[in-house]
Amino acid sequence: MSISQLKKIATAALFGAGLFAAQASLALSSIAPIANCKYVVNNSWGSGATASIEITNIRSTVISGWSVNWNYVNNRVTSSWNAAVTGSNPYTATNVSWNANIQPGQTISFGVQVNGNGAIEAPVVYGSICTNSYGTSSVSSSSYLSSSVPSSRSSSSSLLSSSIRSVSSSSTSACSGVQQCNWYGTNYPLCETTQSGWGYENNRSCISRATCTSQPSPFGITGGACVQSSASISSLSSSSIRSSISSSRSSSSSSLSCPQGNSWPDCPYTTWSDAYCAQVGPSLCPRSSSSTSSRSSSSVSSSGVTSVELTKRMGIGWNIGNSLDAIGGETNWGNPLITQQLINSVKAAGFKTIRLPVAWSKFSNEQNFVIQSAWMDRVEQVVNYALNADMYVVMNIHWDGGWMQPTYAQQNYVNNRLTIMWTQIATRFSNYDDRLLFAGTNEVMVDGDYGTPTPEYYTVQNSFNQTFVNAVRATGGKNATRHLVVQGFNTNIDHTVNFAVVPTDTVSNRLMMEVHYYDPYNFTLNTSSNITQWGSIATNPSVTETWANESYTDAQFQKMKVNFVDKGIGVILGEYGVVSRTNVADHETYRNYWNEYITKSAYTRGLVPVYWDNGFGGNGGMALFDRASGAQLYPNLIQAIVKADD
């Protein structure tokens, strides 16, 4: 739901970051600068924008509590998440309880939405923890991208830079004294234990010393002194983004024709040389020898079944929310690392399907969208946890910073980026069986506009679905027939029925439609509401909504059955649920009843209900399981949900 901004926070702060008091244990006014602080505009739509403020610990000790400041010329904050934001320009943000500690090398982030009142700004972030020398701000949205390109880059640099329209540039220096790896112009942490290749340590991607030093000059290990670099705020054309894939990875791409041996990425990869394919790897060149995978599951495949037949096997599902979809890293929103033990507990409770929301962009190149192999490895590891438990997996590109804006102005940019990213993801998983489903997007809408979509909005959003299907099918292998999940506008049932266009596909009966359900909002998600009862069992009309009751629910899911299931398109109810309100007497009774009714109503009409779990089990949370141990937090609620599949 977008209401998706609200679900990100695993606490009652979903509806106002200021609900948490800061738990800072440092005397912030007395400490030396220990972090890089950066303001990044993720999306702008003329009258407003969303942005992230990133704080990276550059020292060898844990930051225990933090506070940062910033101010605008004309922009003003209208909402925030993942921090307690106070003030009215300048603004101050302090940690909430679960992101107070920042490990060495770790980056945490929090978000704001602003009214523009003119041009969208990217102010300097300052504060006692922020390095005085590191005050860069960047724009990383559908209109602007941040880049860091060394001036001494070889011929590949000239090709990339020629396709960039530079808007402005600034000079920055990081004087942390911590060694890093300058990987073809982008700095990454050096691994402490991984001896070769890429690693994943301390909840972050890293590069081994051996791999870092294998690069040509001027790239390699840097640090121990101030490192000067230039940052450009740039706007890329749709075609130049694609071309940057090879130009940023290879110094040999100079010809724009397509003879055998040339590596220009707008040519089919079948025309690329063997040497270049080996260099870029299987994520970009599927015929690379390294792309041969042994990842295919040994379990019985669902090959040959239609999407509607497959939904009957998928039973009831559960979301691993606020983990791999957390912006900045798996633990950035307060949940521990996903484990096999957790997945086994979910399976043992009676769930058959895992929905795996994933944010990819933080671990990909800002210019060419090439995804880091270490992050791909971690996502694959979690996918395998679920397959090891013999569960179905629905893996997506989730909110991911909100770059999928469905406007004509952003249509080419988003479709190009979707193609690049899904080509890599699909290629990595091309040998997996039909228990792995791909879902292209999540809750696409124009930021801040919750009304009925205009023809422009839903037309562009439908094009995203088609692009996703085309990109996956083009990778071949088992992806040629894999079950794919597309969404209606903002996953709203009425908008889906009225405006969704099922994509054209190269294979029959392998597409599914996804919607979400959180009605009535005042009962399900609004912790400030006095609506605390629901349905026919309610005893107090004054705390019960007059709409979105049982008959309304049945009618909504019947629409999906008639318009999709009965026409051969399987349906995923990808999210639903009610926040806990432990401070309200008897609320749990109505919460259990709502979840039981919605699950059963959807399931009996052929939908796959997938409960949204955000990992937080306290007041305002939606967790069913303890993410660390796998223990059931609400056994009665779990039973109310899974018994629909009995």
Single out the residue of 206, 18, 13, 250 nearest to residue 105, CA to CA: 206
Residues contacting residue 123 through CB under 8 Å, at least 6 positions apart: 39, 70, 71, 72, 137
Q: Say if residues 55 and 37 touch (Cβ distance below 8 Å).
A: yes
Hey, how many other C-beta atoms are within 10 angstroms of the C-beta on 152? 10
The DSSP bridge partners found for residue 50 are 43, 113
How many residues make up the chain in this entry?
646
Token output for 84: 């307690």
> What's the one-letter identity of residue 393?
V
Respond yes or no: is residue 443 known to be catalytic: yes
| Catalytic member of 54, 121, 514, 575 | 575
**Token pair 């295919």: residue:** 296
Cis peptide before 218 (omega within 30 of 0): yes
Single out the residue of 481, 407, 400, 399 nearest to residue 438, CA to CA: 481
Q: At CA 158, angle to CA 154 and CA 161, rounded to 5?
A: 130
Residues contacting residue 507 through CB under 8 Å, at least 6 positions apart: 473, 480, 481
> How many whole angstroms separate alpha carbon 167 and alpha carbon 630?
49
> How many whole angstroms separate alpha carbon 473 and alpha carbon 426?
9
**Token pair 């106070």: residue:** 86
Strands 484-487 and 511-517: parallel
Phi-psi sector, 227: left (phi>0), alpha (psi -120 to 50), beta: beta
| Catalytic member of 54, 443, 545, 596 | 443
Token output for 596: 């039981």
For the residues of 106-128, what is the DSSP string, one character each?
-EEEEEEEEE-SSS---PPPB-T
Single out the residue of 216, 290, 277 nearest to residue 245, CA to CA: 277
> How many whole angstroms separate alpha carbon 613 and alpha carbon 598?
15
Cis peptide before 520 (omega within 30 of 0): yes
Respond yes or no: is residue 201 known to be catalytic: no
Q: Say if residues 617 and 629 touch (Cβ distance below 8 Å).
A: no
What do you get for the CA distance between the two ends of the chain, in Å?
28
> How many whole angstroms separate alpha carbon 265 and alpha carbon 268?
7
Q: At what angle do helices 635-642 and 587-604 cross, to 10 degrees?
A: 20
> How many whole angstroms separate alpha carbon 570 and alpha carbon 311?
6
**Token pair 């019985």: residue:** 300
3-state secondary structure of 420: helix
Phi-psi sector, 601: left (phi>0), alpha (psi -120 to 50), beta: alpha
> How many whole angstroms separate alpha carbon 207 and alpha carbon 197?
6
CA distances from 373 to 262, 283, 339 (A): 24, 9, 20
> How many whole angstroms separate alpha carbon 20 and alpha carbon 11?
9
Q: Say if residues 516 and 439 touch (Cβ distance below 8 Å).
A: no
Q: Say if residues 307 and 510 touch (Cβ distance below 8 Å).
A: yes
3-state secondary structure of 395: strand
> What's the one-letter identity of residue 274?
D
Active site (catalytic) residues: 443, 575
